[in-house]
Structure 1
Amino acid sequence: MQELRKYKFGDFWNRLLSGVAMAIVVAVTPGAIIAPFITGLAKTSDFWLSIYNATNMGTYIVPVAAGILAASQFNFTMIEKASVALAAFAGSGSAVYSKGTWSLVGMGDLINTILVIAIAIVVIFLIRNYVGSFSIIWEPIICGSLIGAFGMWSYTYVHLISMTVGNILNSFTTLQPVLLCILIAMSFAVIIATPLSTVGLAYAIGINGIAGGAASVGATACFMMVAVATYKVNGKGVSFAMFWGSVKMMLANFVKHPRMLLPIAVVGGLTGLTDSFIQVKNASEYAGFGQPVGPINSFTYMTGSVGTNILLLALIYFILPILYSLIVYLIFKKMPKLYCDSDWQVDLNK
């Protein structure tokens, strides 16, 4: 219990969520980037079909990987990590039992998975001093059976809430696309600059379609604004890294200077406004990604001329976000109380 108390509430959840976020990114990235390019090839031969299937299988290991990586954040032993993974898999809903057969149906409900992982970690902290050398027996039983069973029970109710939130957002983008695209894009532009995972959030609440597209272009807007803002004080290398999504390396800057999120939010809002007319779409598993994953998967939802579709994607994912970022950068430069070049300095020695 003393070991658990050394983690403050915020620190506990930051550690847990960072582990879950990394699991999602690692598991989803192969399918998000490679699968769209080999979908056609998979229909031509068993060789390409094998690569296609292997690429997409990563989704199914998210609960297990999330349990292991989250437990790693607390320096758990191998037995404890595996036990948390057992509970996460059982409670995730990624496997469904019907008529004597288990079937994998995806990564399950992420919110319920996080809930189960949190419970499993707390329980291990509570019992580890009592089970001693019998940890290899008791920890898998308690996590895999009892906590896993609780997760299977809670899944129905938590998943209902998750889907309801996602359905509301998706329906709102149909009824009022301008306002919702602005808000979603602005929110994801800011969230991706925090320790929170836009990938996990998008999947957890199940946003897709136009809402998923708005989330993706919002994340991209953050990349572009940070790339423009860091160019002068950090040089081409850092700016290029930001362009391709390495904004998390600036977490310390954002925490120290929250005002840095304001120009990011503005660019996100402008990009979302534009997207409300273009209306690119994306699935929930890709909605939290910016470019290059976002446009690759948005393309699969588009119909009509290939050339026109590529032009639209180039506009909403690259050209306009960069243009908006340059304009916002020049405007905010004239507001010293809101913008300071030194805020964007990245200390690469840390």
Structure 2
Amino acid sequence: MEKISPKEFTSKILNGAAMGIVVGLIPNAIFGEIFKALSSYNEFFAMMQQNVATISFTVPVLVGMFTALQFKFSGVEAASLMGATFIGGGSAKFVDGAWELHGTGDLINIMIIAAVSVTAIRWYNNRVANLGIVIIPIVGAMIPGLIGMLTLPYVGYVTTGLGALIENFTTLQPLMMTILIAISFALIIVTPLSSVAIAYAISLSGLASGAANVGIVATLFTLAYGSSKVNKKGTTFALFFAGPKMLMPNFLGNPIMILPIFINSIVTGIAGYIFKIQGTTASAGFGLTGLAGPINAYSFMTGSPIINIGILLIQYLVVPLGIAIVTHTVFTKMGLYKDEIFTFAGENK
């Protein structure tokens, strides 16, 4: 196999993870809340809700598949990598004598095990061709999968530790709390960390939950506006369903993106405090995905429905988009970064 640099290797792992997340989560992001609302009227919609939710369970496998495509693996190599990421993700757990599926797994661990599996498969490099179908699943799936099972609890401490830090913010003065939580989730949503897992770990609710949502929306519009400059309309449109993690490789490869996201999240956080945007633990960490953020915020509002809808439009559209336009325009003219840093790796897909 051809030699690749550590930077290129990391980029391929990140791009594989981003594509796996996009494909695995878009169906549920688009239809999940709709089918949930309609499920009480007809069992068919309940079945469809289960359908799209089940697709999200395939994220670890899809990350493995897209990573395999990045490295141009053969069928056996790809299947082995997919097996490793599925095991390492931790979404399948053996509980009371039965296997259970729990969410999409730990994305950080999935990516670590993907890197381990890819390294092992590339090291083997089909040394004994006739035994490849026997050796590759062992070297590329079983052993990395075992490593993933061992590292999963420790990798989980990253989420737990960050959650504990954010939990401290909830004890601060409301305005400061809102701003800090908005900033935290604005940055978390574009990393391998799970915003939903952190929200559940510390039981975010009320104003804190609203702050988490508006922070994510700040990142979404910052990335979407940048994407609109270099990507096709479909790619930018997909961001509103797949979420900011779709451009995770771009963010991790270009830390300068922190600057516009940071500013946007501060402004949207302040707006969230002014408008008293609230939410629940279940809605925290989703932002605009499935409209979970604005729908739950509306349920906490009182007074005129028209005014409330107007507030939501300002909070979830006008403010984050307006600040995104201003920051992007200013920073590109200053030469701090170029439009190209928002180019999606899977733009031709």
TM-score (norm 1): 0.75
* Structure 1 position 118, deviation (Å): 1.0
Deviation sequence 1:310-339 (CA, Å, 0-9, x none): 333212111222444566678x49x96468
Give the match's secondary structure for 1:198: coil
**What secondary structure sits across from 1:34 in the alignment?**
helix
Task: Give the match's secondary structure for 2:316.
Answer: helix
Residue 310 (structure 2) aligns with: 311
Aligned length: 327
CA contact (8 A) 2:31 2:290 kept: no
Alignment of 1:172 with 2:169, yes or no, is: yes
Structure 2 residue identity aligned to 1:64: V
1:150 aligns with 2:147: yes
Determine the structure 2 residue equivalent to 1:201.
Answer: 193
Cα distance in 1 for residues equivalent to 2:232 and 2:308: 30
Q: Which secondary structure does the structure 1 equivalent of 2:78 belong to? A: helix
Is there any run of 5+ residues in structure 1 with no aligned partner, and where? none
Shift of 1:112: 1.4
Query: 1:328/1:156 Cα in 2 relative to 1: closer, same or farther (>3 Å)?
Result: closer
Deviation at 1:64, TM superposition (A): 0.7
Given that 1:83 and 1:143 are in contact with CA atoms closer than 8 Å, whether structure 2 keeps it comes out as yes
Q: Is the aligned partner of 1:111 residue 2:103?
A: no
Deviation of 1:299 after TM superposition, in Å, equals: 1.6
Q: Does 1:51 align with 2:43?
A: no
How far, CA to CA, are the matches of 2:86 and 2:256 in structure 1? 40
Contact 1:217 1:317 in 2 (8 A): yes
Quickly say closer, same or farther: Cα 1:70–1:327, change in 2 above 3 A. closer
CA offsets 1:165-213 (integer angstroms, 9 cap, x no match): 2342244245355446445645776x69xxxx72743448734642531
Counterpart residue number, 2:24: 27
Per the alignment, do residues 176 and 222 of structure 1 end up closer, same or farther by CA in structure 2, a change over 3 Å counting?
Answer: farther
Of 74, 81, 87, the match for 2:78: 81
Report the AA paired with residue 16 of structure 1: I
The residue that corresponds to 1:222 in the other structure is 222
Query: Does the alignment pair 1:299 with 2:291?
Result: no
Tell me which amino acid in the other structure corresponds to 1:206.
I
Q: Could you say if the C-alpha distance between residues 203 and 284 of structure 1 is closer, same or farther in structure 2, counting changes exceeding 3 Å?
A: farther
How far does residue 119 in structure 1 lie from its aligned partner after superposition?
Answer: 0.6
* Greater alpha carbon shift after TM alignment, 95-104 vs 273-282: 273-282
1:41 and 2:38 are equivalent in the alignment: yes
Residue type of the alignment partner of 1:198: V
Deviation at 1:94, TM superposition (A): 0.6
Cα pair 1:112 1:155 within 8 Å, conserved: yes
CA gap 1:313/1:285 in 2 versus in 1, 3 angstroms:
closer
TM-score, normalization: structure 2? 0.75
1:133 pairs, out of 127, 130, 135, with: 130
Asked if structure 2 preserves the Cα contact closer than 8 Å seen for 1:16 and 1:71, the reply is no
Find 2:58's aligned residue among 58, 61, 64.
Answer: 61
Amino acid of the structure 2 residue aligned with 1:169? I
Give the superposition deviation at 1:222.
Answer: 0.6
Q: Secondary structure of 2:4's match?
A: coil
Task: Provide the C-alpha distance between the structure 2 equivalents of 1:20 and 1:242, rounded to a whole number of angstroms.
Answer: 18
AA matched with 2:193: L
Instruction: Report the alpha carbon displacement of residue 81 of structure 1 after superposing the two structures with TM.
Output: 0.9
8 Å Cα contact 1:275/1:316 also seen in 2: yes
Q: Is the 8 A contact 1:212 1:284 kept in 2?
A: no
CA 1:241–1:144: 2 relative to 1, 3 Å: closer
Deviation of residue 30 (structure 1)? 1.6
Q: Report the Cα offset of residue 91 of structure 1.
A: 1.6
Change (3 A) 1:271 1:113: same
**Contact 2:24/2:59 (CA < 8 Å) preserved in 1?**
yes
How far has the Cα of 1:76 moved from its partner? 0.9
Moved more, 169-178 or 70-79: 169-178
Change in 2 beyond 3 A, CA 1:68/1:255: closer
Cα distance in 1 for residues equivalent to 2:290 and 2:36: 17
On the 8 A contact 1:128/1:135 being kept in 2, the answer is no
- State whether residues 299 and 309 of structure 1, in contact with CA within 8 Å, keep that contact through their aligned partners in structure 2: no
1:38 aligned counterpart, secondary structure: helix
- With over 3 angstroms needed to count, the CA separation of the structure-2 counterparts of 1:263 and 1:159, relative to structure 1, is closer
CA deviations over 1:287-308 (Å, ceiling 9, x no partner): 3x664x2644442465345836
The whole-number CA distance in structure 1 between the counterparts of 2:115 and 2:196 is 16
Deviations 1:97-156 (Å, cap 9, x if unpaired)? 123211111112121111111111101111124232311111112333222122112212
Q: State the Cα RMSD in Å.
A: 4.2
Change in CA separation of 1:109 and 1:245 when aligned onto 2, cut-off 3 Å: closer
